[in-house]
Amino acid sequence: MTGAIATHTLFPQTQNIRSTQPIESGIQFTTTTGSQWRISVTKAPILNAEQMDQLTSSKNLQVPYPEMFFGFNKLTMSNEATSGVVVDFSAVDALQCVEFGSTEAMDSVKVAFSKEWTEKSEKLHGKIKQIAKPYDWTYTPKKYSGSVKGPQQFTTTESKIDVEMLKRNDPILWYDEVVLYEDELGDNGSCTLTARVRVMPTCFLILLRYFLRVDGVLFRVHDTRLFHAFHSTTVIRETSTRECSYDRVLGKVPGGAGVFSGGANSSGRDLSLLNKGDWVAQGMPDPLYLEGSGKGVADGVTMSVERDELSLVVKK
């Protein structure tokens, strides 16, 4: 079959799941076109205080760490042997893309009761003139869609991910998911950054998903998808953002419409669904229908999508 995996190997065959050291697992394969690939996931426990101090010093990190920061975790896509291309999705690189140093970043999203809290604080302490080290407290990794190493870089394209190929009932040769960081946002919601990958006989798909819930305010889903069909010579990347009001999603929870009431759940509905990024995302319009790179609004959801591609052909 043209453009398919000819041979593949999973690694490692065995591993100690209780290890405190980073553990790498993944798949190595060669396609019928002769392209060599290595895709892996590295997992380790949450960083301890000493590791955080060392990382802060070595990487010059300025944003405070999320509550659960998996600093050694990453997903790596490597075509280095064939084209020299390596793409990493890591917790550290993502955190470095969180906006730091401006009050605008800190105030971009306000909690449901921020006005009341501000008024009470001003009465007790007077108006705060300056906040030390302001940052985006939602930990949104703006403009982060992976770190690319190699002779080629992504360039704008009109090509799209082949959704029909992904819908086929092909066997999955390897799948994995890794959490990069999580935070409860001071009990005002939650944010999670995860990376996942699945490899089929004729293609692979990588998804980096940032999911944000701010109670009573909004939901945000920021996705970066990397897709490669083995008969092609490019990797397609689609980066999209969806954002809508909290009450819009709350109204889709089975059991009837509702509005935010400070966390109360008198209706008995299963509000745990609001913690599940996949469930929330499925209830939003898909931004990938947008032509080219652009923005749109549908069913109360603001959307944007950008598309680019990475050539696997070595320039001579």
pLDDT in tens, 196-230: 999 999 999 999 999 999 999 999 999 999 999 99
Question: Tens of pLDDT along 256-299?
Answer: 555 565 555 545 678 899 999 999 999 999 887 777 778 889 99
1 pLDDT tier (thresholds 50, 70, 90): low
Strand 85-90 with 68-69, pairing = unpaired
The predicted model gives 8-25 an average pLDDT of: 81
Per-residue pLDDT at 254 exceeds 50: yes
What's the chain's average pLDDT?
87
Where residue 311 falls among pLDDT bands split at 50, 70, 90?
very high
pLDDT at 144 over 90: yes
- DSSP assignment, residue 67? S
pLDDT of residue 291: 72
> How many other CB atoms are there within 10 angstroms of residue 63's CB atom?
19
The residue among 68, 2, 74 whose CA lies nearest residue 31 is 2
Q: What is the pLDDT of residue 231?
A: 95
Return the pLDDT at 62.
87
Give the mean pLDDT of 82-88.
95
Query: Please, are residues 105 and 211 in contact by the beta-carbon 8 Å criterion?
Result: no
pTM score: 0.89
Query: How many Cα neighbours within 13 Å face the side chain of 66?
Result: 27
CA angle 86, 178, 307 (to 5 degrees): 50
Share of the chain above pLDDT 70, in %: 84
**pLDDT recorded at residue 256:** 56
Lowest mean pLDDT among 52-66, 89-103, 198-212, 250-264: 250-264
pLDDT exceeds 60 at position 192: yes
Domain range annotation of the chain: 5-13+20-109+129-259+270-311
C-alpha distance from residue 190 to each of 14, 114, 161, 213, 282 (Å): 34, 16, 30, 5, 18
pLDDT exceeds cutoff 80 at 139: yes
HSE on the CB side for 249, CA within 13 Å? Answer: 32
Q: In the 8-state DSSP scheme, what is residue 55?
A: H
Q: What is the DSSP secondary-structure string of 190-235?
A: EEEEEEEEEE-SSEEEEEEEEEEEETTTEEEEEEEEEEEETTSSEE
**pLDDT surpassing 90 at residue 17:** no
